[in-house]
Each structure stands twice: as C-alpha cells, then as structure tokens.
Structure 1
C-alpha cells in the first residue's frame, strides 16, 4: 500500500536545526524510497529553497519567527495546517506539539493525525512557570486532537499510558555508524586518542552542564575538558564566566561539521551526556555510534537506552569520582561495543523508517475503518 504522507511541525529539511528535522530527513527520504508520496513543510526562511529534496516534496510556508520571536512558531504551524487542509494527505505526521496543538480543531479531518509526543517539554527548567503550564496544556491538546501517537522513548510511552491512558507506538531515533573518513577528520594535535573529556549540548540548565563542570573543576585531572555548544545565550555566558579561571576547560563553541564532531566523540577518553529531559536523545545515539565511552546523567531516559553500558552521575561528587578513576580497560571496551551493537540492531535508520511506515499504514487503515488502534 502506497500512501500520501505529510510531515509538519519542523523548521524543514535538510536539517539545519535539531532532532525533529534530523529524523524528518531520514524518515521522509526513506518513505519515498519505499514508494510513498511524502511532503515536508518548510519554513520560508529555510536556506533550502527548492521544491523537492531527494524525492520529497517541499512546501514552503510563511514563518514570521524572525520578526516576532517564538510567537512566530504558532503562526507558522497555523499556515502549515491551513495548507494541509486543502490537500488530500492520507496520513499527517506532526513532530511535536508545542506550537501546533493549539490549532488542533483545525487539523484536516480527511487525514489520520499521528503526533510524535516529543519529551516532557514542560519539565524544562529554562521555561518560566507560566510557559511550563502552557506546555502541559499543549500536551493535553495534542492527545485530544490526534488519533495516534509516537513515543521515541519507552519512558515517554509509559508516561502517556499512565497519564492519558493512550497506547502510543514506540519508534526511537536512529544513528549512523562512524566511518573511517570521520575518524580521520581531526589532526592528532586536535584530539590525541583518549586524552580529553568531552560534552556536547545546548547550553541549558537541564543538560547538567554546570554539574558536570563543577565535578571536573573539583578534580585533580590533568586531561582537558572540551565543551561543544553555542555559549551565546544567557546560561552559556554564565557557564563560561563561572569556569573562566579553569584553564583545563575549553569552550569550543558550536561545531556543525558532523564528521569532526563524530571524530571528537570517538577520540574522547570519556564522553559526558547530561541531558535529563526528553526522550531518546540523538546526540547520545551518535556518541554510542561513534564508539565513545559514556558517562550519563542518572535518569530513566538515559538508562532506557544505555542500560548497564555506561557510567552514571547525579551530582558533582559523582563526576569528580569518574574523572579521577575511570579506566579504559576490557570492561570499558565491552561497554563501548555493547552500545555499538544497540545502534546496529535497535537504533538504526532502516528500522526507524520501517517503524514509521508500518505505523502509518496501520493508522490509515484503522482511521478509515472508523476505529482506533488498540
């Protein structure tokens, strides 16, 4: 069965922003390869201006975010939804709900609506209390106005079942294996094998960057600590100021060269993953695929992916202990290899696309038969 599928809720493809754009690239192109007709909605500000990409149809909708800030996302999503109402898509996949679910009453009735429920956005500490309350409301609206749901984490699936009594389909993110070319992207001077610690994250409190660097700052390690991420926001400026006197900490800024990032992950002594809110994090999967030894913040999201194949921390004292005591021996090599096997067999893009294709077909058939998937 070949379907007409639309993907809404992202800034567009190819990816120039984040996780939803990244997965939309792979899923849209993969579905086209399987014979489906796929359309992705792009912001009119997106640098890619053509009407097709790798066989995927692109519809450019007006996005005033550059003029009016975050409120523009709501206008952009409304424009995408209004355009989709004019078309006869079999299935509409909405990536996230933050600025789209408020328009839920306008979702096209002729299409089966599938929403990827994202992480627990309302838990993010960067948001004020009123914004957190709005995000809880938006989550409820997404549940109310969608017929079908995707969770990218088992933890999110369990949360939705407990909170709303809905059965979402678990479909994780994917990651590509590191290539020999990517291993060679940086010079020995930039990354001596296993001679530095590394973290890569947006500069936000819930990513536990301060906790990680506090622990490292207390340690007696002679290895440098490389921090990848844009430090231009308020929290980023706070972090760089706080640790400006620790010459071992190197703030490298954002690096958009994927091959270079993967090589840095591969060559690190220990890769710190501090994300504590959300589902399966793409940067964590990439670190696993890059054969990095991982120390992760101790929370159910990370545990669901890594199981026993990582070190865990909850506070600066834990980080200090890891920095000073972790070894790179047979046990650690086994942890790295186990995570690599997870990428090969559980978090590969082929199986992710298969999951979306199978679920889209099920949703279409069930929606048109007038019943909901149990």
Structure 2
C-alpha cells in the first residue's frame, strides 16, 4: 500500500467538523474518579485493536518494567485469542488497565484529555483514525516506528520498536518535553488537513 496516498484518502474523509464534533476536551467528573481511580495520577493511554501483528505485549511489558504509572488500553479484548490472552495476563495488573471499547464518547474524550502521553502501537495503516484524533487533540505521542506512523506524524512523534526503546523514551519524558510534543502533533495534523482542504 502507498502510505502517503492512504493518509491523504484518510484525511480527505475526515472533515475538520467531524474532528471538532468527535474530539472534545472533557474535564474529570466525580463519577469518573469512582469508575477509574487511576485518574488521580499520571497515566498513558492507548486506543488499539488487539491484533498479534501490533505487538501490544511489547508496550505492556515496557510499562511493567518502567513501573512508574499505568497504561490504560482501550480495545476489544475479547475479539481474538491474542486479545483474550492479554486480558488474562494483565486483568489484575496495577500498571496495565484494560478497558473495553463500549464506552461513551465523553468518557473516551475525558481519558484522552487527561492522559500524560498517548501510545500508538499499530504496525500497519490504522483504519480507525485514532492516531489522527490524538494528534488533533494535541496529545504527546509515542508511536511504533512504522512508515505510516512516521509519515502521518511528519516524523515528529517519539518512536519505538522494542520495549527497551519505549522504556528509554518514558524515562526521558518530562512534562515540558511532553507538552512541546503535543503542540507539534497538533501543528502537524492541522497543516496536513489545511493543505488538503486548500487543494479542493
């Protein structure tokens, strides 16, 4: 697949209005704290499809070894044997919190708004546009070093291939660096959307 062409097609389908409607910043409410106690502290967020080729176990392994704050992973953990195995392995873990995708959009946006870092582990083209939405919401991004992720983020995300590389990035990530990366992500996606819509 031609990655730049795929990205252009994907961005063409996503209007600014859709992103504005779909990606709202939401503050944490009392009921959220009750449902998700981890909201009191720092956390990473990942919205993913638990497919074996996405090597999600590498990310989870990295967070367990890093051992400083949890990763919250939203995905359909019952979809296949790989997802089910991850669910069995990590369902009681303090450092890996698995959430099923049947959550309200407000809840999803609240999780996105308040995360410290967004992780994208997709190795191939991501049909779900979750990375585009994370960029649009100005989230700092650590992504798997795939051609798709590098092209979409204009090489401005932080990239990993192995859990050791992920751990090194997490150790280096102070709040200013994270905030600067988030601003860069927003800038990258906005300029691409602008360019495309000017072309029409």
TM range (shorter): 0.7 to 0.9
Any residues of structure 2 matched to 1:216-365 within 5 Å, and which? 216-221=63-68, 223-233=69-79, 234-244=81-91, 246-278=93-125, 282-329=129-176, 331-347=177-193, 351=197
Seen in structure 2, the aligned counterparts of structure 1 residues 203 and 179 have a Cα distance that, compared at 3 Å, is closer
Rounded Cα–Cα distance in structure 2 between residues aligned with 1:338 and 1:325: 17
The structure with the larger Rg is 1
Q: What value does the CA root-mean-square deviation take over the aligned residues?
A: 3.1
Which ranges of structure 2 fall in alignment gaps of 5 or more residues? none
Runs of 5+ unmatched residues, structure 1: 1-119, 121-150, 158-169, 359-374
- Alignment length (residue pairs): 190
> Could you report, residue by residue, the CA deviation over 1:123-169 in whole angstroms, capped at 9, with x for unpaired residues?
xxxxxxxxxxxxxxxxxxxxxxxxxxxx6x31759xxxxxxxxxxxx
Give the number of the structure whose residues are more often helix, by fraction.
2
1:230, CA displacement in angstroms? Answer: 1.2
For 1:279 and 1:179, locate their aligned partners in 2 and report how far apart those are by CA, in whole Å: 17
2: CA distance, partners of 1:295 / 1:186: 27
Shift in CA distance, 287/255, structure 1 to aligned 2, threshold 3 Å: farther
Structure with more relative contact order (C-alpha pairs < 8 Å, separation 6 or more): 2
1-structure distance, mates of 2:72, 2:24: 22
Distance 1:197-1:235 versus aligned 2 partners, 3 A rule: same
Residues in 2 aligned to 1:193 and 1:286: alpha-carbon distance in whole angstroms: 24
- Mapped to 2, the partners of 1:311 and 1:179 lie a distance apart of 25
The ranges of structure 1 where at least 4 consecutive aligned residues each deviate by more than 3 angstroms after the TM superposition are 177-182, 185-188, 190-194
Matches within 5 A, 1:1-374: 120=1, 153-154=3-4, 170-173=8-11, 174=14, 176-177=19-20, 182-184=25-27, 186-187=29-30, 189=33, 190=36, 192=39, 195-221=42-68, 223-233=69-79, 234-244=81-91, 246-278=93-125, 282-329=129-176, 331-347=177-193, 351=197
Residue 218 (structure 1) shift: 1.6
Alpha-carbon distance in structure 1 between the residues aligned to 2:112 and 2:182: 12
Give the SS at the match of 1:340: helix
> Shift in Å at residue 219 of structure 1?
1.8
Cα deviation per residue 1:107-135 (whole Å; 9 max; x = unaligned)?
A: xxxxxxxxxxxxx5xxxxxxxxxxxxxxx
The structure where strand makes up a greater share of residues is: 1
